[in-house]
Chain A
């Protein structure tokens, strides 16, 4: 049986009297690019922290690949790019990745092979020896993404991965996400760049005030409620009447029907 990559049941987190996440039940199958959308303060970051076992839920359960998220064998399958990654700016790019690779438990031999691949993937192959203190914000974001992919994760959490990137950098991240998806990776994407979410995600959840208010496929969301502008030479009352059978808000604007 294939377990979902992410499964939560009635997840709740309270900080004192403040309820950050109210009652969150969610399932993300393996191989899906899942968008997690909502306004600031909606409970997105708290949810991600609970999914990663960085914050313990007040009640409810989380499972990643059918197992509780704190276990070492589960952590080994997960990559994470936080929104505000604290970089060791005195390290060179390759040293930074070597350090994080060691934290993942990867061997030096593996990392010597893996690091150049990742630097190349994120467009930083020529900056391997550069100290992170000399990196631009966009370059830091890309090295952060490389860090999240070091351990060949099966599930990767990307929190605002295109924040601070110029349009070319954003396209590069989008291409990387497509590539990861084609390799079967599950991607949990938290982003305010909705045009990119629209292109990238298979399914999205909208969260507001600690609760999921809607989960749907991108295809369903975009395929409904289409506005139609109709311009004809003569719009007869019969024609308007017929249009109104589809839509009660058909409005005549001169010879245009909107």
Chain B
């Protein structure tokens, strides 16, 4: 799942605990700058195409 901010991560752990589930893994995977770059540049290129 994608979360907007890392502050949500402890809340996810709490939620799992409240639901009575056993937690085996909770791994935040931060996007690298390369991934962010691709998102931003491709996004701006697509917007440009859409406008035309």
Q: Do the two shown chains form a genuine complex with each other?
A: yes
Interface residues of A (CB under 8 A from B): 37-39, 194-195, 197-198, 204, 206, 208-209, 211, 213-214, 218, 221-236, 238-239, 242-243, 246-247, 249-251, 256-258
- Asked if residues A243 and B1 are in contact (CB atoms below 8 Å), the reply is yes
Q: Is the interface of B mostly helix, strand, loop or mixed?
A: mixed
Q: Given A226-B30, A228-B3, A246-B8, check contact A206 B40 (CB 8 Å).
A: yes
Q: Interface SS of chain A: helix, strand, loop or mixed?
A: mixed
Q: Are B1 and A233 in touch, CB under 8 angstroms?
A: no
List chain B positions with a Cβ less than 8 A from chain A. Answer: 1-6, 8-9, 11-12, 15-16, 19-34, 36-37, 40-41, 43-45, 48
Query: Could you tell me if B24 and A257 are in contact, using CB atoms closer than 8 angstroms?
Result: no
Given contacts A226-B6, A230-B16, A231-B25, contact A249 B34 (CB under 8 A): no
Q: What is the bound-complex CA distance between A232 and B33, given in angstroms?
A: 30
List of 4 A-B pairs having minimum Cβ-Cβ separation, nearest first:
A231-B25, A213-B44, A198-B33, A232-B21
Task: Tell me the complex Cα distance, A195–B30, Å.
Answer: 13
CB–CB A208/B44 < 8 A: yes
Asked if A247 meets B45 with Cβ closer than 8 Å, knowing A226-B31, A229-B25, the reply is no
